[in-house]
Chain A
């Protein structure tokens, strides 16, 4: 195969998915319908107040807040794959950068909506900007999530510029779309200066996004750690949340990898080797998270202070025991063990493990939020029985699903308008490989 034909093949392979086809329309239509149903449920909540949920004066944060934490957590993966691995010279992760960034952007953008859905007075959202109190972790959260969203969008966009140029030239799309691609590609010519600018700004973002990403999840952990409640009143909550975020984010990337590889026929680009590597990464981040879990539950379990003992018993052998142990074992320990075997680091087993971990990650947030709220310092008395033990309602579950659907929609759209694996970087990679080969031959 000549060099030219290789280049053409890569370009056409990676650009092929960017077109409207029936499977996309059906999938998107399904998502749209599902979203409508969920938004209808939210409409009911707007009309009747949060009383349509299972929340009460004691468990006043429930599924919505767990969901919010999950969203913020998952969005952190952009920083891990693109920034940390990128800066530390882990070249193997480069093809995943765009998938990770798309996931990060989608989850970060919707996280804000999740928290709005939890508000009793969503129409007063602007109060946060008009009367914002700098001491409140919520103001910090709103600020850093906005910043992370902007930075993630730029992190996605800037390395995408060369690809946009290719899109505008090579894609068979209506003229107005071509024009949009062209405008967005900012007169990209591939000059040395332009390449340098892209490289520099990508580097600046990659460095800046690390503290921002740490901040979003640390600040989110402050929503809990800055209170005095048992189970939340912990100084390691920041790193505990951040490491947990890497686990759920990696799981999301694994699932996305599998889906895109299969649907977009990208087996040559999202290789089995890549699955193998990301599987190892998963083991690493899960082990770190497991370590934090040991700390978080063993220390209070050792001392058994009055209120903490009540919470620990509830988790270990009480009402929440089944969920707690499922999350810890099926969502963390078993995946670690499985992924130690090379056979398990193949696409299909990884997909299953990815789902296990992601589901575990969601319920882990639930386990952090709800049991603590069920055990305040003073006894719960003279209130309806339903306020003592939290049970989510159907409406609540539907409203919780809405942002998930939105995330899927955003990812679907983004993956339909831009190449999911960077074309220009793949070409560059090809060039450098050939150069190296050429030099070897000489």
Chain B
């Protein structure tokens, strides 16, 4: 017993140094093994990278394994879609003009949008509002999509980069990232955002579909959705869903850098700034400093009277102020 007690005491220092040495050498060997492994992986990766031509005619280097996935249809690769969706289109600055004098509350825009983005009937990426600003001013219909602000309050508050502005001005969301905190809803002064409070309406048929950031389909329970300026269509050179669906020529859509917007109904292309100048174009609530990319032309010379049945709803707010 006494031997046992003494033994460790005697051996302590020497053994400690020995142990230290073993641990040290072990660490060194292990470390170099890991290092070598990592380096091998890196080299392997480098060998397997290939160059491809993107849709914007730019050479991009991607991993071969990545290519195998994206080579068939690129539209089935989530990482590729997310990256493409986050970057946006170089050299573009998309704008929309909404001509209030032409809106007749046909709501084809809302229907087309809901269908394209798999939304419930009460979820509106674009909402045609019945407006009246003060007691004696006229009532008018005002389609209100996301304003795609250049100083977006929504992306400013997002804690996880789930909503972001792209180089072409479009504000998108990544519902694979969104944590559902709804701070962006609180921050948006235009009430442009909607939330998937319940299981999305098409969740059964959308099961297994690869998520496209630019279409925000499939929608996911517990995440945000909002107007995307139809980024998927725009990438193909087509006008957004709402713009093409309008029967009344309300919407113009185009590229500020090209100084041109195209009417969704007549397909006529006109100068962007001249259209604003000739018609007194304006933005919603400029005092907030959000710098919207959606412009409005005033409801001057409406060809269509404001419906009697909608008047009460338009005036509702005036009673309270």
Contacts and interface: CB of A to CB of B under 8 A. Distances in A.
A125 interface: yes
Interface string B169-195: 000000001111111011101110111
A51 B199 CA distance: 9
Chain A's interface: helix, strand, loop or mixed, by majority? loop
Interface stretch (B66-74, B124-132, B269-277): B124-132
Contacts of A136: 156-160, 183
B28 to A, nearest CB: 32
Contacts of B288: 228
Interface stretch (A105-113, A205-213, A373-381, A399-407): A373-381
B269 to A, nearest CB: 30
Contacts of A137: 157, 183
A57 interface: yes
B286 to A, nearest CB: 12
Given A309-B321, A314-B320, A119 B179 contact: yes
Contacts of A115: 181
A368 to B, nearest CB: 12
A381 B313 contact: yes
Contacts of B189: 227-229, 376-377
Contacts of B313: 379, 381
Nearest to B191: A376
Contacts of A387: 122
B221 A139 contact: no
A406 B301 CA distance: 63
Contacts of A313: 320-321
Interface core residue of B129, B144, B183, B199 (most chain A CB under 10 Å): B183
A89 to B, nearest CB: 41
B198 A121 contact: no
Interface in B185-220: 185-187, 189-191, 193-199
B160 A133 contact: yes
A373 B186 contact: yes
A278 B100 CA distance: 62
Contacts of B153: 227-228
A227 to B, nearest CB: 5
Contacts of A124: 160, 177-180
Contact of B196 (A120, A138, A306, A307): A120
B259 interface: no
Interface centre among A227, A229, A310, A377 (most CB of B within 10 A): A227
A310 B186 contact: no
Contacts of A309: 321
Contacts of A306: 321
Given A57-B193, A131-B161, A377-B191, A119 B181 contact: yes
A387 B317 CA distance: 16
B191 A118 contact: no
A120 B182 contact: yes
Nearest to A55: B197
B283 interface: no
A56 interface: yes
A120 B161 contact: no
Contacts of B223: 120-121
A128 B187 contact: no
Given A120-B223, A229-B186, A310-B320, A127 B179 contact: yes
Which A-B residue pairs are the 10 nearest by beta carbons? A120-B180, A120-B222, A51-B198, A138-B159, A51-B197, A136-B159, A121-B180, A60-B185, A131-B160, A121-B222
Given A121-B222, A133-B160, 7 more contacts: A51-B198, A120-B222, A132-B159, A135-B156, A309-B321, A378-B190, A378-B191
Interface of A: 48-51, 53, 55-58, 60-61, 115, 118-122, 124-125, 127-128, 130-133, 135-139, 142, 223-224, 226-229, 306-307, 309-310, 313-314, 318, 373, 376-384, 387
19 contacts: A49-B197, A49-B222, A55-B197, A60-B186, A61-B182, A61-B186, A119-B179, A122-B179, A127-B177, A127-B179, A131-B160, A133-B158, A137-B157, A228-B288, A229-B189, A313-B321, A379-B130, A383-B122, A384-B122
